[in-house]
Amino acid sequence: MAMYPCTFGPNHRFQGAQRSAYISRAASTRPSTLKHRLCKQHANTLEALCDAALNTVTPETSGEQSKVCEAYDCVNPRSETFYVRLFNEQGSDPDEFIGELCELHAETLADELQWRSMLRVGDA
Ligand SMILES: [Zn+2]
Ligand SMILES: [Zn+2]
């Protein structure tokens, strides 16, 4: 039994290894980073959401700067950068996702990723 509940969805206890995700949002204001403590199932859910909405960080994608929202078919100006690091287990390199989104799509993604139930970095 992990010591702390998963923070995705209604808090729930889980068996097995704990995974964590750090999500940063940078708008014109100061960037903020929050943390999810995840069970395996919800780590997979979060990974699928990031896969659908953001780009996987590779040497080829880093450095590109888009001016419009990257959501499918969206032409609104970008308003926020999302940067997600998903850690599989202690010490391994995280999966990284990044994307530039307009205000609307940023809010939609924040809801999907359950931004409001995330922990402050530094909490257990
Ligand atoms: Zn969970
Ligand atoms: Zn958009």
Asked if residue 24 belongs to a domain, the reply is yes
Instruction: Give me the number of domains the chain comprises.
Output: 1
pLDDT in tens, 105-117: 999 999 999 999 9
- Token digits of residue 36: 């999810």
Ligand 1 midpoint to CA 100 (Å): 27
Q: Where does 1-124 show beta strands of DSSP type E? A: 19-26, 32-38, 55-56, 80-87, 95-101, 119-120
Asked if residue 26 belongs to a domain, the reply is yes
User: What range defines the domain where residue 109 resides?
Assistant: 19-120
pTM above 0.85, yes or no: yes
pLDDT in tens, 84-102: 999 987 667 899 999 999 9
Of 2 and 57, the structure prediction assigns the larger pLDDT to: 57
Ligand 1 midpoint to CA 47 (Å): 13
Ligand 2 midpoint to CA 43 (Å): 25
Ligand 2 midpoint to CA 84 (Å): 18
